[in-house]
Amino acid sequence: MNIQNKSQCEIAENVLDNLNTAVVLLDDDLRVLCINPAAEMLLGVSSNKITSKAIAQLLIDDELIDAIDETLKSNHPFMQRERVVQLMESKVTVDISVQPIPSSTSSKNPSEKNNARLLIEFSPLDRHLRISREENLLAQHETIRALLRSMAHEVKNPLGGIRGAAQLLERELSNPDLTEYTQVIIDEVDRLKKLVNRMLGPNSRPNKIQVNIHSVSERVRSLLKADKNRDVKIFFDYDPSIPDVTFDPEHLIQAVLNIVRNAAQALSEQEYDTNTDEEKDKIITIKTRIMRHFNIGHKRYKLVAKMDIVDNGPGISEEMQERIFMPLITGRAEGTGLGLSIAQSLISQNGGLIECHSKPGETVFSLLLPITDS
């Protein structure tokens, strides 16, 4: 790349960096001149790795590459709706627009290259749906918390009265054997109060400090080492470039611990048909990545840390995924249905969000942790 092209690329990068639209700029050899952060996130590749490389190394789609090449030759824009594009490791469904940008010093000989550029825009179709889903999830969570606070007030007041009455009754009983019954009342009232408090989650404001999310996952690993009853392997896939997040460390540790323990329990309780299935390794993977220009609900952040907690268990049904973060909702016979609700509450109080995606053999809980505002 010559000095002029390098300068043009730097200018383009400055303009494109703040766009939500994924944009790729190609030269007349269909090599990548620059790629903006939105495209890095959508296409799953860094600018350093793909710059100066052929677009064919990014888009594994000969038909699309031919259409892009034809756009360059004909100098006519190309557009396609709802195109499923095969990438190196995944597929994305997008609207594609390819716009030729001729050089101001184009040659009069049509057979000669004229340093033209191609501007490719990718508009992911699921982006607005994701934002809408996240907004609904946040609104749902706030509604549930308000309902629980109201319910806690209505429940805890009579429980206090019942406990007090049982204590007074206990003092008046002349037969010591009868105090066993009043003690049952007191113990059960205390148990119900603890359950209501757990449903509400922490009521103190987050104590936010700078936290390294990898130190959090290492802390969770050390806590899980004490549990010798689960034959579960934990692997880590870290992005060391992720900066610290401003978070309450205790909230983050508790949320990650709740999710990992849920995953471990699901794996441990997984049943196999000995006639048809071979028992496979029970694996949990904690993966961290950086997301650029990312929305959490309606709010846009320049940088977001994403922590995926992935297990290879039986998966969660679609119906259950819609309600997984509601209190007292669980798919396990012995579950309380509070672990994930509390985890969502802890992350939400710090400005983040937890998402869940699941299919048989793979369940992913994604913690989205804001780093810097846009």
pLDDT given at position 106: 45
Q: What is the pLDDT of residues 190-246, one digit of tens each?
A: 888 777 776 666 666 788 999 999 999 888 888 877 665 567 888 999 998 899 999
> What b/e readout covers 263-286, taking b as 16+ CB neighbours within 10 angstroms?
bbbbbeeeeeeeeeeeeeebebbb
Do residues 221 and 284 touch, judged by C-beta distance below 8 A? no
Q: Which CATH number fits domain 209-373: 3.30.200.20, 3.40.50.1000, 3.30.565.10, 3.20.20.70?
A: 3.30.565.10
pLDDT given at position 26: 92
pLDDT given at position 205: 77
The angle subtended at Cα 81 by Cα 79 and Cα 84, nearest 5°, is: 110
Point out which residues pair with 357 in neighbouring strands: 364
At what angle are helices 179-200 and 127-172 packed, to 10 degrees?
160
pLDDT given at position 7: 62
The angle subtended at Cα 233 by Cα 228 and Cα 238, nearest 5°, is: 125
pLDDT given at position 53: 92
Q: Return the CATH fold of 3-125.
A: Beta-Lactamase (3.30.450)
Residues of the chain falling short of pLDDT 50? 105-108, 110-113, 273-274, 276
Q: Is 279 helix (H, G, I), strand (E, B) or coil?
A: coil
Do residues 296 and 134 touch, judged by C-beta distance below 8 A? yes
pLDDT given at position 107: 47
What are the sequence ranges of the domains in the chain? 3-125, 131-200, 209-373
CA distances from 146 to 17, 54, 82, 143, 151 (A): 39, 54, 40, 5, 9
pLDDT given at position 368: 92
